[in-house]
Amino acid sequence: MRQIFTILAVIPSLVASRTTVASSPITSVAPIVATSPSQGAETITPERVNEMLGAKLFDPSGTTGLWNAPPRTVATLLNLPTESETSYESSFRSYTPGGEAKIVGCRVFSTILTGDHGKAVELSFMLANKGDIMAFLDGNDRSAYEVFCNVQRRTPTATVFSTPGMIRRYEAEIRKDNSLLEASLTKLFGTFKGGSFGRGASTTERGKRWDWNGTTFFLAAPSGEYVVLRLIPTATFDDNQSDRKGFEKAKEEIPDRIQRKQNGDVLLEVPQVDQGPKGYCVPATFARVMRYYGLHADMDLMAKAGNTTAGGGTFLASENAGIFNLLGEAGLHVSPNSCRISMRDIKTHIDRGEPIILGINLSKEYLARISSRNAGRENVTDWGDWSRGLTTYRAKAPQLAGGTLAHSCLIVGYNLTTGEIALSDSWSKETHPLWALVEEVGAAAQGAATVISF
């Protein structure tokens, strides 16, 4: 049976840390200095660009450009909390689910900055989109929403609420935002050029581009999906081999991303992506793996590739098919349902540096048991005693079958001595994994897991 995954960020026992909701990206911190305007762009001042963005990103004095700045410096300017920070990448993200922040009158639902090896590589403003479907609920939908909530309280399932009216409203706002941004960018920079960014039929965005000062301002609005303004180094935007180069660089570093601890824990250093209020566990999980392998991806692009429904709801098989070409061109391949939930298979892939994508049916008992036990695991000093104490839980593992909350996450580690595996979720900015017995995960899993390998 194919399983659709639509978990929202609403698991209170495991979501202790939520990305800070910023009311506006504007701050009073000193702006990053920009390089001199290119020929023909003398009238386009940094002040005018800052005014359009609503953030003091560019300054005419100095010689250091935006793309040479440390990502944390740029994030501070935009008041973006840390989402992920590993030895090789970083990301900073704020959610404004009500769209309080604005660019030229368009609501900004999230702002995302990504960095690679100490340099900022992309800044994206996500405007109207299908993932933030709840922002388009109005009074006409209230009674239906109350019925939905009552059903969910009785029998929680991985279902996202939406109505035809909500879908019409977000699609109309996508068209409106796209028109407003196009007009504003054209007024500032002049006539646009057609452009596309990305590789593969499902993972390429087509839109309009304006180039200024080494930065490409790229506006894309895939039909029924989202409207996004991306700031990308022009050299990167024009490099058709950027994904392959990113993967080759990542492949060289993968052995250093396998962490082995004295207690027997073996963990992969994998980027975090916080799905926030969206039911995007599958797109966020795949985006994490893409970034691990040095590929351009965000969860909204992954939602587009996987034909995710409004609000959330993605078949793993659809996501696998959607990113197939991108992976192949970069030098990777996807192996659906190839990894059994066994310590032997999991160890094989983790030792190779390959994160494992897991589909799992969660239950309240599973969430309570794993959350409670992990709180104790953080303070263990006698690992032999800890391992012996897991015997009781191992015998009760079959009780965790039959959960109704369909979810997707990553297997990122194992411990042979204790018989545990490490799971990492996308429903918060928390990077610490949750440890569960392999038998417990096997009981709750949808079946064999998927591996993207090299």
Domains of the chain: 32-132+162-242 (no CATH), 246-453 (3.90.70.10)
Instruction: Tell me the pLDDT tens digit for each residue of 252-305.
Output: 999 999 999 999 999 999 999 999 989 999 999 999 999 999 998 899 999 999
Q: What's the confidence (pLDDT) of residue 60?
A: 66
Condensed to tens digits (0 to 9), the pLDDT of residues 184-220 reads 999 999 999 999 998 877 888 999 999 998 999 999 9
How many Å is the maximal CA-CA distance in the chain?
73
CA 221, 227, 228 angle in degrees (round to 5)? 110
* pLDDT of 33 over the 50 cut: no
Q: Which of 86, 75, 42, 74 is nearest to 60 (CA)?
A: 42
Please report how many Cα atoms fall inside a 13 Å half-sphere around the Cα of residue 331, on the Cβ side. Answer: 15
Strands (DSSP E) contained in 156-236 are 193-197, 205-212, 215-220, 226-233
Give me the pLDDT at residue 61, please.
56
Query: Could you tell me how many residues make up the chain?
Result: 454
Is residue 158 very low, low, confident or very high in pLDDT (cuts 50, 70, 90)?
low
Position with higher pLDDT, 161 vs 156: 161
pLDDT, tens digit, 9 for 90 and up, residues 317-343 = 888 888 888 888 888 989 999 999 999
* Average pLDDT over the chain, rounded to an integer: 87
156 vs 294: which has the higher pLDDT: 294
| More confident of the two residues 187 and 32 | 187
pLDDT at 394 over 90: yes
CA distances from 407 to 163, 226, 427 (A): 23, 23, 10
> What pLDDT is attached to residue 129?
95
> What's at 172, amino acid-wise?
A
First-last CA distance in the chain: 28
